[in-house]
A and B are shown apart, each in its own frame.
Chain A
Amino acid sequence: MSDNVATAPLPAPKSRGLRLNFLLNLTLLGLLLLLCGALALGTENFATINNLSNLLRQGSIWAIMAIGQTFVIITAGIDLSAGAVVGVASTVVGLLMVHGVPVPLAVLATIGVGMAIGWCHGFGIVRMGLPPFIMTLASLTALRGIGLLLTGGQTLSGFPAEFGAFARGELLGIPNLFVAVIAVAVPCHLVLHHTRWGRYLYAVGSNREAARLSGVSINRVIYLAYIVSAGLSALAGVLTASRIGVGVATTGDGWELQAIASSVIGGASLFGAVGSVPGPLLGAMLLTTINNGANLLNINPFWQRIITGGLIVLIVYLDQLRRPKR
Chain B
Amino acid sequence: MSDVTLPTKPADGGVDSLLELRGIEKRFTGTYALKGIDLDFAAGEIHAIAGENGAGKSTLIKLLTGAHAKSAGTMRWRGVEVEFKAPADALALGINAVHQEVVACPHLNVAANLFLGDETCRVGFLQKRVMIREGQRILDGLGFQIRADAMLGDLTIGQQQLVATARAAHRGTRFLIFDEPTGYLTRQETLQLFRLIRSLHDEGVTIVYISHRLEEIFELADRVSVLRDGRLVSTRRIADTSEAELIRDMVARSLDEMHYKREVPRGEVLVEIEGASGPGFEDVSMTVRRGEIVGLYGLVGAGRSEFVQCLFGRHRMTAGQVRWKGQKVMIRREADAIGRGIALVPESRRDQGLCLNLGVGFNLALPIYDRLSRGGLIDRRAERAAAARQMIDLRIVAAGQRVHAETLSGGNQQKIVVGKWLAHGAELFIFDEPTVGVDVGTKADIYHVFADLLTAGAGIILISSYLPEVYDLSDRLAVFRRGRVVAEHTHKAVGVETILTEAIGV
Contacts and interface: CB of A to CB of B under 8 A. Distances in A.
Interface of A: 1-2, 4-18, 190, 194-196, 199-200, 202-203, 206-207, 209-217, 273-274, 326
Given A13-B400, A196-B372, A215-B335, A5 B378 contact: no
A18 B400 CA distance: 13
B402 A17 contact: yes
Given A7-B395, A9-B388, A17-B402, A196 B355 contact: no
Contact of A200 (B357, B369, B448): B369
A210 B355 contact: yes
A213 B373 CA distance: 20
A209 B351 contact: yes
Interface in B321-365: 334-335, 338-339, 344, 346, 351-359, 361-362, 365
Contacts of B391: 8-9
A12 B357 contact: no
A211 B361 CA distance: 14
A11 B400 contact: yes
A273 B404 CA distance: 12
Looking at B334, B369, B392, B398, the one whose CB has the most chain A CB atoms below 10 A away is: B369
B392 A9 contact: yes
A13 B399 contact: yes
A194 B369 CA distance: 10
B401 interface: yes
A6 B412 CA distance: 12
Contacts of B151: none
25 contacts: A1-B444, A4-B253, A5-B445, A7-B392, A9-B388, A9-B401, A12-B401, A14-B402, A15-B403, A16-B402, A17-B359, A18-B402, A195-B377, A202-B358, A202-B362, A203-B355, A207-B351, A207-B352, A209-B346, A209-B352, A210-B352, A210-B354, A212-B334, A213-B352, A326-B406
Interface in B400-449: 400-404, 406, 420, 424, 441, 444-445, 448
B460 interface: no
A6 to B, nearest CB: 5
B370 interface: yes
Contacts of A2: 395
B335 A199 contact: no
Given A202-B358, A211-B355, A196 B400 contact: no
A194 B378 contact: yes
Contacts of B384: 12
B445 A1 contact: yes
Given A214-B367, A215-B424, 12 more contacts: A7-B395, A9-B396, A9-B401, A17-B402, A190-B377, A195-B376, A196-B370, A199-B369, A210-B353, A210-B366, A212-B334, A213-B334
A15 B400 contact: yes
Contacts of A15: 359, 400, 402-403
Contacts of A274: 357
B397 interface: yes
B338 A10 contact: no
Contacts of A9: 388, 391-392, 396-401
Interface of B: 253, 334-335, 338-339, 344, 346, 351-359, 361-362, 365-367, 369-370, 372-373, 376-378, 380, 384, 388, 391-392, 395-404, 406, 420, 424, 441, 444-445, 448
Contacts of B346: 209, 213
A5 B334 contact: no
Contacts of B404: 16-17
Contacts of B359: 15, 17
A326 B67 CA distance: 13
B179 to A, nearest CB: 17
Contacts of B424: 215
B319 to A, nearest CB: 25
B455 to A, nearest CB: 15
B357 A206 contact: yes
B355 A207 contact: yes
B357 A214 contact: no
A277 to B, nearest CB: 16
A150 B10 CA distance: 85
Contact of B366 (A4, A7, A190, A214): A214
B275 to A, nearest CB: 26
A213 B445 CA distance: 23
A255 B351 CA distance: 35
B397 A273 contact: no
Contacts of B445: 1, 5
Nearest to B372: A196
A202 to B, nearest CB: 6
Contacts of A10: 399-400
A186 to B, nearest CB: 13
A264 to B, nearest CB: 16
A195 B379 CA distance: 9
Q: Which 6 A-B pairs have the closest CB atoms?
A: A15-B402, A12-B400, A196-B369, A206-B355, A215-B338, A209-B352
B366 A211 contact: yes
B377 A217 contact: no
B403 A5 contact: no
B397 A6 contact: yes
Nearest to B359: A15
A326 B355 CA distance: 16
Contacts of A8: 391-392
A18 B401 CA distance: 12
A199 B367 CA distance: 11
B213 to A, nearest CB: 21
Given A1-B444, A10-B400, A15-B400, A215 B334 contact: yes
Looking at A5, A10, A207, A214, the one whose CB has the most chain B CB atoms below 10 A away is: A214
Nearest to A212: B334
A5 B346 CA distance: 25
A203 B378 CA distance: 15
A274 B357 CA distance: 9
B366 A203 contact: yes
Nearest to A190: B377
B401 A207 contact: no
B439 to A, nearest CB: 13
Contacts of B338: 214-215
Nearest to B363: A210
Nearest to B421: A214
Given A1-B445, A215-B335, A203 B400 contact: no
Contacts of B358: 202-203, 206, 273
Contact of A199 (B351, B366, B402): B366
B378 A195 contact: yes
A275 to B, nearest CB: 12
Contacts of A202: 355, 358, 362
B354 A207 contact: yes
A76 to B, nearest CB: 11
Nearest to A203: B355
B86 to A, nearest CB: 16
A195 to B, nearest CB: 6
Contacts of A203: 355, 358, 362, 366
Contact of B367 (A5, A11, A190, A215): A215
